[in-house]
Amino acid sequence: MSEATAKPMVELTIDGKKATVPDGTNVLEAAKSVGIRVPNFCYHADLTWEGSCRMCLVSIEGRPKLAPSCCEPVKAGMVVHVGSPEAETARRAQLEFILLNHPLDCPICDQAGECKLQDYYVEHGRYESRMPRGLKVHKKKVVDLGERIVLDKERCVLCSRCVRFCREVSGSHALQFFTRGVTTEIGTENDGPITGDDYIGNVVDICPVGALTAKDFRFRQRVWFLKSAESVCGHCSTGCNIRVDSKDGTVYRFVPRRNPEVNKSWICDAGRDSYKLLQGPGRLAGPRLRRAGTHVPASWEEALDAAQAAIAHGKKAGANGIAAIASPDVSTEALYVFRAFARDVLGTSLVDYRVDGSHEKTTVMADKILRHADPHANNTACAWLGLGQASVNDILDACEKEQVKTLYVLRAEFLRGHPEPERVRRALSRVEHVIAHATHDIPELTLASVVFPDATYLEMDGTFVNYQGRVQRFARAYPPVAEAWPATGVMAQLAKRLGGAVPAGTADKLFDEMSAAEPAFGGLRWKDLGLLGAQPKSAQTVGAEER
């Protein structure tokens, strides 16, 4: 964006409105900036200009012919008419041309409801088809393109978005045009499966019609039943902006949300599938207690009582009686509360988050496009909040020597990442009481004496700080499942019982409080974060270096 602002600004008139945009912008984007939407199929903000669909034709004064607005750079003093009668007629005619051989698949097409063709037909078309029945050109339907994609060649409007994506972004060149004229079609070589492209799921999102559908989402739900929440992918430290589409507490898909500063319009396939890891059969339904060697379900009251007793027991054992391990998988607000909880309530300095060494890989790219080698979303925030006070190996040593009586673990799953799992197991079994927050039922949980079911980031509001130091908000998509309860609430409750106090409240309140107290956050306010997040001034150099 810094490049764009450096460019000289150009002023032009679009449908009587004055637009001022940087030089090099196309007319379509300029129109968008003053709130005029130009219909288009082939234009995509993060791909090169193609101008193949001819839906965005506009009239420009002084030009003999209509011009495709997506391929027309702005010029000073340009006078553009998007709604002129010629442009409207051309649009309508072009729509009819595109729809000539389009199958009437809307009832069974997954794209229905978010289909540009449907929308434009309602806006600009509304004519009776002049194509006699039986004369339509038919192409192959339901072509299986590997693990993720199903192609319907008939529905394609030949906009070439997917072709450009495979050429310019993922570099796999998987999808191409074949044959010519009315039989032109999109496909892979011999309709073979697409392999070796870890970003191919994006072609489904950018397909303006239902030609490319995702196997994962196919036929599972109609899009108009889904509720969307603006969120951030927690699958690696990139922090791709996503939209979580869910219904009745079930997530059906992650869809990338455009953020030019982070992920453009893309998301990797692993991140797209990560919603499956956040729900499903393994989720903990309620608190658990270890009684006589086995785990039994317990009420929250009983679990909090047990945790309170365990913490009091650990405190009696002296300075190193309690240790606490944070996790870079939870929200920044939870980490902030955890830090205060460890310091003021547990009264320990044996606090660390560097269990699996991922903190060193936060800014290391795992591929050439988006992914980072750090599989956790919030290592940056852990570092900013100074949670690495002791080394995790010291904590484990102290556990093995039975100095630590009570261990408080913010996410039990996170401990599995330790390079020596046997050592962790041994250490945990020597500790008298392990209090653990966990989202999923994993075998290692049997080592814990109290287990609190935690809410995933889809079930709460909060922020993640990505590898650039960009603070990004995620919104709650649905309420916590069963009896799960966000760790912030549990820690506040425990603090109250133990006669201490930790920051409590909603995510926005906690964030503002934290940001005011922590210089690393540069005084950012929750309301400044918006949908695309914000970077504190101190962190901006880090991001620039990386990019």
Summarize as ranges the residues that interact with other proteins (CB under 8 A). Answer: 105-108, 141-142, 218-220, 222, 224-225
Q: CA separation (Å) from 442 to 118, 126, 275, 479? A: 46, 56, 18, 22
CB of 206 to other proteins, least distance (A): 22
Separation CA 57–CA 54 (nearest Å): 6
Question: Which CB sits closer to other proteins, 108 or 544?
Answer: 108
The answer to whether 433 and 407 have CB atoms below 8 angstroms apart is yes
Q: Which two tokens stand for residue 533?
A: 């997040």
Question: Which CB sits closer to other proteins, 213 or 348?
Answer: 213
Residue 435: helix, strand or coil by DSSP? Answer: strand
CB of 109 to other proteins, least distance (A): 9
- In SS3 terms, 154-220 reads as HHCCCCCHHHHHHHHHCCCCCCEEECCHHHCEEECHHHCCCCCCCCCCHHHHHCCCCCEEECCCCCC
The answer to whether 252 and 482 have CB atoms below 8 angstroms apart is no
The answer to whether 199 and 273 have CB atoms below 8 angstroms apart is no
Separation CA 491–CA 337 (nearest Å): 7
The answer to whether 352 and 415 have CB atoms below 8 angstroms apart is no
CA 212 vs. chain centroid, Å, equals: 21
Question: Which CB sits closer to other proteins, 247 or 258?
Answer: 247
Question: Which CB sits closer to other proteins, 105 or 261?
Answer: 105
Residues 6+ apart with CB under 8 A from 494: 304, 307, 308, 311, 341, 345
Question: Which CB sits closer to other proteins, 214 or 289?
Answer: 214
CB of 142 to other proteins, least distance (A): 4
Question: Which CB sits closer to other proteins, 121 or 338?
Answer: 121
CB of 111 to other proteins, least distance (A): 13
CB of 482 to other proteins, least distance (A): 22
Question: Which CB sits closer to other proteins, 137 or 285?
Answer: 137
Question: Which CB sits closer to other proteins, 140 or 173?
Answer: 140
Q: What angle do CA 259, 264, 266 make, to 5 degrees?
A: 115
CB of 225 to other proteins, least distance (A): 8
CB of 70 to other proteins, least distance (A): 32
CB of 459 to other proteins, least distance (A): 24
